């Protein structure tokens, strides 16, 4: 099937967001873009450019005040809040700058908690969690507590938790903001491998080097898309292996 016939995972038509005042603040203005299944897109911009608002609307955490947002062909403006919550929980995996891991739970248990919140059947959770951890190269760390994991390994557990529900979209908000250069490369290698396996990925970042790892870059400036579909550096070919996660 050609790209033109695929239903976009994300479709913005003149999307805007104004926060009430006084004075009112325009956080997004007239944003129009499409993200197709299997794409790897970075959204880049300086602090205050509108990245957080863009993420909140894409992630169904907030609603636009103008324009239309379709997620996977569904007009989200027509959904009741409980339906938006259900769609978000089953179709969008979130990875944040902070790992948000429970320190007294193992890697496997932390990933299972994400499945619990998504309403996955109890008996299916351990196998799905283990499979997700294997996808990010942590099959040997299933029973490790966060205190025994490196920063990169903690973020990979967070990625596994987001993947466990088989989301249509993996939405990453500054996923390397707490990591050093070497660990950033480790985590972004994992995200790149997931993309090559067919996962749709959107990374929100201020880091030009991280943005350059995506297929395309959307640049936000003063709430608007100042440049659309900038071609980034191609994602390198997969080696067929995942990082081992040594500390």
Is residue 174 within 8 Å of residue 166, measured between CB atoms? no
Is 150 within a domain? no
Q: How far apart are CA 46 and CA 129, in angstroms?
A: 35
Torsion of CA 150, 152, 154, 158, to 10 degrees: -170
Is 129 within a domain? no
The residue whose two tokens read 């790149």 is 192
Write out the chain's pLDDT in tens, 247 residues.
344 468 999 999 999 999 998 899 999 999 999 999 999 999 998 888 899 999 999 999 999 999 999 999 999 998 999 999 999 998 999 999 888 999 999 999 999 998 988 888 999 999 999 999 999 999 999 999 999 999 999 999 999 999 999 999 999 999 998 888 989 999 999 999 999 999 999 999 988 899 999 999 999 999 998 765 666 554 444 433 344 433 3
Q: Could you tell me which residues are beta bridge partners of residue 94?
A: 171
From the list 144, 112, 99, 118, the residue with the least C-alpha distance to 246 is: 144
User: CATH number for the domain including 92?
Assistant: 3.40.50.300
Q: Could you tell me which residues are beta bridge partners of residue 19?
A: 25
Is residue 44 within 8 Å of residue 228, measured between CB atoms? no
Is 147 within a domain? no
For the chain, the domain total comes to 1
Q: Could you tell me which residues are beta bridge partners of residue 93?
A: 170
Is residue 51 within 8 Å of residue 204, measured between CB atoms? yes
Is 134 within a domain? no
Question: Could you tell me the residue range of the domain that residue 42 belongs to?
Answer: 3-102+169-231
């Amino acid at each position: 099937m050609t790209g033109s016939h695929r239903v976009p995972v994300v479709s913005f038509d003149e999307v805007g967001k104004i926060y009430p005042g006084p004075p009112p603040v325009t956080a997004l203005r007239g944003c129009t873009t499409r993200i197709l299944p299997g794409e790897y897109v970075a959204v880049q911009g300086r602090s205050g450019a509108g990245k957080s608002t863009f993420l909140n609307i894409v992630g169904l955490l907030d609603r636009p005040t103008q324009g239309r947002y379709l997620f996977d062909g569904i007009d989200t403006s027509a959904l009741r809040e409980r339906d938006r919550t259900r769609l978000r929980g089953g179709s969008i995996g979130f990875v944040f700058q902070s790992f948000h891991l429970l320190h007294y739970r193992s890697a496997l248990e932390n990933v299972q908690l994400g499945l619990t919140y998504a309403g996955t059947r109890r008996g299916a959770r351990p196998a799905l969690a283990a499979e997700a951890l294997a996808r990010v190269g942590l099959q040997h760390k299933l029973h490790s507590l966060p205190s025994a994991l490196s920063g990169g390994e903690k973020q990979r557990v967070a990625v596994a938790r987001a993947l466990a529900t088989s989301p249509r979209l993996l939405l990453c908000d500054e996923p390397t903001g707490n990591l050093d250069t070497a660990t950033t490369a480790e985590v972004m290698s994992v995200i790149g491998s997931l993309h090559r396996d067919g996962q749709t990925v959107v990374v929100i970042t201020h880091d030009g080097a991280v943005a350059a790892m995506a297929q395309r870059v959307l640049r936000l400036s003063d709430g608007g898309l100042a440049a659309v579909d900038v071609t980034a550096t191609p994602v390198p070919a997969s080696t067929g292996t995942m990082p081992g996660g040594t500390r």
